[in-house]
Chains A and B, each alone.
Chain A
Amino acid sequence: MADPVDVLVVGGGSTGCGIARDLAMRGLSVTLVEQGNLTHGTTGRMHGLLHSGGRYAVSDQASARECIEENRVLRDIAGHCVETTGGLFVQLEDDPDEYFEQKLEGCRECDIPAEVLTAEEAREREPYLTREVKRAIAVPDGAVDPFRLCVANAADAVEHGARVETHAPVTDVLVEGGEVIGVEVEHESGPGKRVHTKPGTTEEIRADHVINATGAWAGRVGEMAGVDVEVRPSKGVMMIMNVRQVDTVVNRCRPKGDADIVVPHETTAILGTTDVEVEDPEDYPEERWEVDLMIETLSQLVPILSEARTIRSFWGVRPLYEPPGTGTTDPTDITRDFFLLDHEDRDSLPGMTSIVGGKFTTYRLMAEKISDHVCEKLGVSAACRTAEEPLPGSEDFSVLREYMDEFGLRSPIGRRSVQRLGSRADEVLKTAEPNPVVCDCEAVTRAEIRDAIEGAGSDLNAVRIRTRASMGNCQGGFCCHRMASELHPEYDEETVSAAWDELVQERWKGERHALWGEGLSQAALNYQLHGTTMSLDREPAVADFAAFDSGTETATDGGKSDGD
């Protein structure tokens, strides 16, 4: 058993990783455990909007103020994860004027820069907007890569001495003498990096304080400690389009509603979303009506969407929380604010704190607040530095331009690699060996894949979220096996095959929801490539090789016997 640590963080999403980084930078010893990959829960399943706060400017001004502040912080410390696209709140002819005025007023009250655009100006910025636009409000919304941001937080935590264990679900919260003293985790393939074929182990990790940062799963961890954490998980669908139909975040300017936002994200655009309360954050229906609603409703705003190719859909679960007794029935009315539950005060159970609610854009602030809280409990006086210290990859942007034509990569590929890696480009791309492209759709090179494997073990989904490989139009049809090959020979064939299969199945999970037109055609192609050309769809059970045709004698001397 390892030495006890100061703080054990449960949950490898943005909040958990943010907390681990914050505390590690303050000098505490920290271990973070996550049941799946980093971002496995809600962080990896959101639309990638970096809020300006505009969306909350009418309904929840406290959240709106936090958003604009954190928006500014993230542009600063995580420049390589953020694209400053700007955003529009678009009013259509039949949308209420009153709400538009409230939105504008709300933005001004919350110090969110807001500028009114005429219909013409709005369509000049976004030519695919409908002609039904009445006017729009421009705000500093942005796009953020939640994977890259979360992984950068974890990497920096490790850099500051933290231990991060993925694929390590908590199986028990250890309570002794009425106090939480640690957790028991199951390492699915032993501690350290994931290797598919390695047998699992369990470990008791003791800590002075346990932080439950498991979002929609917080109730489960609470239950293991014997306390109630009343999370109200609410699902929402997001649909990925094959190209960027818009270059700024486009919001519909009307009171809350489903399907009212399009976020440009790398080469794609993400449509969102729905808001339906679910019982279980891992087991809920992914429904056709949600998919169809995105296209039907958002094409009122951006008509070309009705004809566009979708490449997949995915669902996320919001970790909504409201204090017991609030009694909100409609999940869209539940506050987006976050809550720090001190189980000592609340349940007379010292040693554990839960953090619930909140949203991605303010993850750093949430992490700061809970870190302050824990430091106070532990009598540590170090100050938070996460708002000033850049994340790995965002340290020095002056060097980026120089990378563009280096590394023997054609310039569009080099550009995209460097955008993803930020200031780490040098370290990752400067290899002695040739660096061919492994994923053509997203222009991901071998060096990036190998760099990700170093951090992720044989887990190709973890490689995927770090690099974007297999996330483009072909959804891995042409590159899943290439990514898997990069694991070999460090990992043996059995491990590589298991990793490949897991990636292919994960890709299929989202593709299923885009199975018409180009999406169905692509799926059929992928199926044939994997099933026919590679024949990886099954392991053939050959009873007798000698029963099969072994060719003619002339065939053995190949070219020489050719007749013509």
Chain B
Amino acid sequence: MAIESDVLVIGGGLAGASAAIEAARGGASARLVTHKENTLRNASGLIDVLGYHGSDEPIVEPFEAIPDLPDHHPYRKVGVDAVRESLALFDEITEGLYEGGHTETNALSPTYGGRVKPTSRYPKSAAAGLASRAEDTLLVGFETVTTFDAPLSAERLDSSVPFEVRGVTIPFPGEFRADARITRLARALDADELLDRENRTGTREALAERVSEHLGDAKRIGFPAILGDEEHREVRETLEDELGVPVFEVPMGPPSLPGMRLEDRLYEALETEGVRVESGNPVVGYTADEGRITAVSVDRGRREIPYHADQFVLATGGLVGKGIDSTREGVFEPVFDCHVPQPEERYEWFHDEAFDDQPYARFGVAVDDDLRPLDPEGDPEFSNLRAAGAVLGGYDMAREKSASGVSLSTGQVAGRNANEDLQ
């Protein structure tokens, strides 16, 4: 039987999930195909909308700053209201898991690098740690978790925030290999693995005990984001009960446990909305007729299967997720070969300082106001293809801290417009 849907979304990150959920809510039959692990598992789990524009002063009110962005920025394509709406959808989907929806004002979250970062939504597990809340803080790191050095991050934060930050490194309770993965440590907390069978001491209690002697005057305690996977609420709750102060996770990754928790929640929502999700197989080609895509072909190992749909959404990610790829000769979009604006000379793709305003960081497809990718002449490549998320060009998500906001808003708008265009 032929595979048919109204809207086919390619890509399973924030943008693709938003597009598929929105299309399904609008009444379309939606299908989402995703190839590899998406980048949520690598990202911190913070939902940034807009943190910087132009200066080093973090933006307090992101929605007020959006109109100042250049015309080609994805936010300008969808408009401020669409960004608001997409966050409302996010809040609904992530209820109980995320905070920050009570206001439009940015919060400042500590990063595991020891800086503060402007962000719009934060995992509930990170909420008690906001740097925009002036409370003395103890950061706790673990000897074998080399990616988070609590005393160093604390020293860096302490010099920039209006409260005291101390850091301490302790051994993680239990017997683990020196290079045990952080997911292994998270599982030990999840299961509250017994350390002492006689006295029935579990990992959580043992951890609290090790931390308590360092607590001092601290009003809250931050850990690297490894406080459980499935059972993260219970893990935090136990630690808070034992220690008597709020406990938070410092967002971290990869791998990112907050990112994995968000991913789980998104896929639950996709299921609830009746989106058919298929993962593991890449889209390798397409057929088109008179400027409309009629089907994409999915490589199922032994053969390529055509997936028909009326509308298509490209949400395959940017350079990191390989939604944009390149050779020595040029940068391209591998599924539909949509035009990617770029300097012709490869040596103009970058600047010589690592954190300069890097041209490559803005690589992606250019779109019209309906989010349809444009050819070199400025005409839509296909009348029924829209693009969303990091596959879009014209913005530097790392520099401006806008990755999630762009994915959510362009995803939702692409899904909605696809739905409206159904024939």
Contacts and interface: CB of A to CB of B under 8 A. Distances in A.
A and B: interacting chains: yes
Interface of A: 288, 292, 295, 408-410, 413, 433-438, 445-446, 478, 481-482, 484-485, 488-489, 492-493, 496-497, 504-505, 507-509, 512, 515-517, 520-521, 523-525, 527-543, 545-552, 555-560, 562-564
A550 B355 contact: no
Contacts of B57: 540-543
Contact of A551 (B52, B127, B160, B179): B127
A535 B116 contact: yes
B132 A482 contact: no
Interface in B147-205: 147, 149, 151-152, 155-156, 159-162, 171, 177-179
B65 interface: no
A543 B232 CA distance: 34
19 contacts: A434-B178, A485-B152, A493-B114, A493-B156, A497-B156, A505-B353, A515-B346, A517-B327, A520-B319, A520-B349, A523-B350, A525-B320, A532-B44, A534-B111, A545-B131, A549-B130, A558-B248, A562-B96, A564-B95
A563 B56 contact: no
Interface stretch (B6-14, B84-92, B99-107, B282-290): B99-107
B155 A516 contact: no
Interface residues of B, number: 95
A548 B354 CA distance: 29
Interface of B: 42-44, 48, 52, 55-58, 60, 95-96, 99-100, 102-103, 105-108, 111-118, 124-125, 127-128, 130-134, 143-147, 149, 151-152, 155-156, 159-162, 171, 177-179, 232-237, 240, 246-248, 251-254, 318-320, 322, 325-328, 331, 345-347, 349-350, 352-355, 358, 360-361, 397-399, 401, 403
Contact of B177 (A408, A433, A516, A550): A408
A221 to B, nearest CB: 28
Nearest to B353: A505
B155 A493 contact: yes
A438 B403 CA distance: 28
A438 B144 CA distance: 9
A492 B114 CA distance: 14
Contacts of A529: 254
B361 A527 contact: yes
Given A523-B360, A545-B131, A563 B96 contact: yes
Contacts of A507: 354
A533 B99 contact: no
Q: 7 tightest CB-CB pairs across the interface, nearest first?
A: A534-B113, A531-B398, A485-B149, A548-B132, A555-B127, A559-B236, A559-B237
A555 to B, nearest CB: 4
Contact of A515 (B155, B171, B237, B349): B349
Contacts of A523: 319, 350, 360
A549 B149 CA distance: 26
Given A530-B355, A545-B134, A551-B99, A558 B247 contact: yes
Given A542-B116, A558-B127, 12 more contacts: A436-B143, A517-B325, A523-B350, A524-B319, A528-B397, A529-B254, A530-B354, A532-B48, A548-B105, A550-B133, A552-B127, A559-B233
A528 B43 CA distance: 9
Contact of A288 (B96, B115, B319, B346): B346
Given A520-B326, A535-B117, A563 B111 contact: no
B58 A550 contact: no
B234 A536 contact: no
Nearest to A481: B113
Nearest to A528: B398
B403 to A, nearest CB: 6
Contacts of B152: 484-485, 488-489, 493, 496
Nearest to B124: A562
Contacts of A557: 128, 240, 246
Contacts of B132: 545-546, 548-551
A547 B60 contact: yes
B178 A436 contact: yes
Contacts of B233: 559, 562
Contacts of A528: 43, 320, 397-398, 403
B409 to A, nearest CB: 17
A552 B102 contact: yes
B171 A434 contact: yes
A123 B112 CA distance: 50
A426 B409 CA distance: 56
B161 A545 contact: yes
A560 B240 contact: yes
A528 B246 CA distance: 30
A228 B382 CA distance: 68
B39 to A, nearest CB: 9
Given A488-B151, A535-B115, A541-B57, A434 B128 contact: no
A556 to B, nearest CB: 5
B49 to A, nearest CB: 12
B43 to A, nearest CB: 7
A479 to B, nearest CB: 8
Given A516-B326, A558-B248, A563-B95, A413 B155 contact: no
Contacts of B106: 548-549
B319 A521 contact: yes
B96 A533 contact: no
B194 to A, nearest CB: 21
B155 A533 contact: no
Contacts of A546: 132, 134
A556 B102 CA distance: 14
B207 to A, nearest CB: 14
A532 B116 contact: no
Contacts of B96: 562-564
Given A497-B156, A555-B124, A556-B128, A548 B355 contact: no
A536 B113 contact: yes
A551 B130 contact: yes
A532 B130 CA distance: 16
A552 B99 contact: yes
B146 A438 contact: yes
Nearest to A557: B246
A481 B162 contact: no
B170 to A, nearest CB: 12
A533 B111 contact: yes
A551 B107 contact: yes
Given A508-B354, A549-B132, A515 B146 contact: no
